[in-house]
A and B are shown apart, each in its own frame.
Chain A
Amino acid sequence: MPQRSLAAPPARPPHDGPVTALQLADRILAEAIKDGGAMLAADRIVAGDPTTAVTGIATVAMASIDALRAAVAKRCNLIVSYDPIFWSDDDRLDHLKGNRLFAIKRDFIRAHGLVVLDLHDRWQGGIDTGMARLLGRERYRRSAGHPCYELPHTTLLALATAIRTTLDDRTLRVVGDPALLNGAADVVLCGYSHEWEAVEYAQDMIATGAKKGMLLLGEAKSVDGGIRYCATWLSTIVHEVPVEHVPALEPYWCLPWHGATGQTRERPT
Chain B
Amino acid sequence: MDPNALLRREVLAGGVAAAAVPTRGVPAPAAGPLTAGAVIERMQQRIGVPWNGWGVDGFKAGAPETVVRGIGTTMMATFDALKSAARQGLNMVITHEPTYWSHPDTLTDLQHDPLYLKKLAFLRAHNMVSFHFHDNWHALKPVDGIDYGTQQLMGWTTYMHADDQRLFTLPPTTLGALAADFQQKTGARTIRVVGDPALPIRTVYESWGYCSAFPGISFLDKADVLVIGEAQDWDLIAYAQDLVALGEKKGLIVLGHVKSEQWGMRYCADWLKRFVSEVPVRFVPIIEPYWNLDHLILEIETEV
Contact = CB atoms under 8 A, between A and B. Distances in A.
Given A62-B238, A87-B238, A207 B301 contact: yes
A5 interface: no
B120 to A, nearest CB: 12
A253 B242 contact: no
A178 B238 contact: no
A45 to B, nearest CB: 18
Contact of A264 (B187, B229, B294): B187
Contacts of B302: 177, 206-209
Interface centre among B194, B258, B300 (most CB of A within 10 A): B300
The interface residues of chain B, by DSSP majority, are classed as mixed
B247 to A, nearest CB: 10
Q: How large is the interface on B (under 10, 10 to 19, 20 to 34, 35 or more residues)?
A: 35 or more
Interface string B215-236: 0010000000000011011111
A88 interface: yes
B193 A260 contact: no
B115 interface: yes
A175 B290 contact: yes
The interface residues of chain A, by DSSP majority, are classed as loop
A175 B296 contact: no
Interface string B263-304: 000100000000000000000010111111111111111111
B4 interface: no
A178 B185 CA distance: 25
B211 to A, nearest CB: 12
A157 interface: yes
Interface stretch (A24-32, A33-41, A98-106): A98-106
A192 B233 contact: yes
A138 to B, nearest CB: 25
Interface stretch (A51-59, A129-137, A214-222): A214-222
B126 interface: no
Nearest to A95: B214
B180 interface: yes
Contacts of A23: none
Contacts, number: 214
Nearest to A120: B234
A204 B98 CA distance: 13
B210 interface: yes
Nearest to A192: B233
Given A207-B79, A207-B80, A269-B298, A264 B285 contact: yes
B225 to A, nearest CB: 14
A171 interface: yes
B123 interface: no
B296 A157 contact: yes
Contacts of A191: 233
Nearest to B262: A263
A178 B298 contact: yes
A203 B292 contact: no
Nearest to A215: B290
A171 B78 contact: no
Contact of B242 (A105, A160, A199, A204): A105
Interface residues of A, number: 70
Nearest to A219: B233
B43 interface: no
B213 interface: yes
A197 B104 CA distance: 11
B238 A263 contact: no
A195 B235 contact: no
A198 interface: yes
A175 B298 CA distance: 8
Contact of A262 (B102, B186, B298): B186
A87 B153 CA distance: 32
B66 interface: no
Contacts of B179: 255
A101 B242 contact: yes
B192 interface: yes
Given A66-B245, A192-B233, A264 B256 contact: no
Contacts of A241: none
Interface in A215-268: 216, 218-220, 249, 251-268
Contacts of A209: 302-304
A187 interface: no
Given A87-B236, A251-B233, A264-B287, 13 more contacts: A62-B238, A65-B242, A83-B234, A87-B213, A101-B246, A174-B290, A195-B257, A197-B101, A205-B115, A207-B79, A220-B233, A252-B192, A257-B295
8 contacts: A164-B293, A195-B229, A195-B258, A260-B183, A261-B185, A267-B298, A268-B297, A269-B296
Interface of A: 62, 64-66, 69, 83-84, 87-89, 95, 99, 101, 104-105, 157, 160-161, 164, 171-179, 191-192, 194-209, 216, 218-220, 249, 251-269
Interface of B: 76, 78-80, 83, 97-98, 101-103, 115, 118-119, 153, 176, 179-180, 183-194, 197, 210, 213-214, 217, 229-230, 232-243, 245-246, 254, 256-259, 266, 285, 287-304
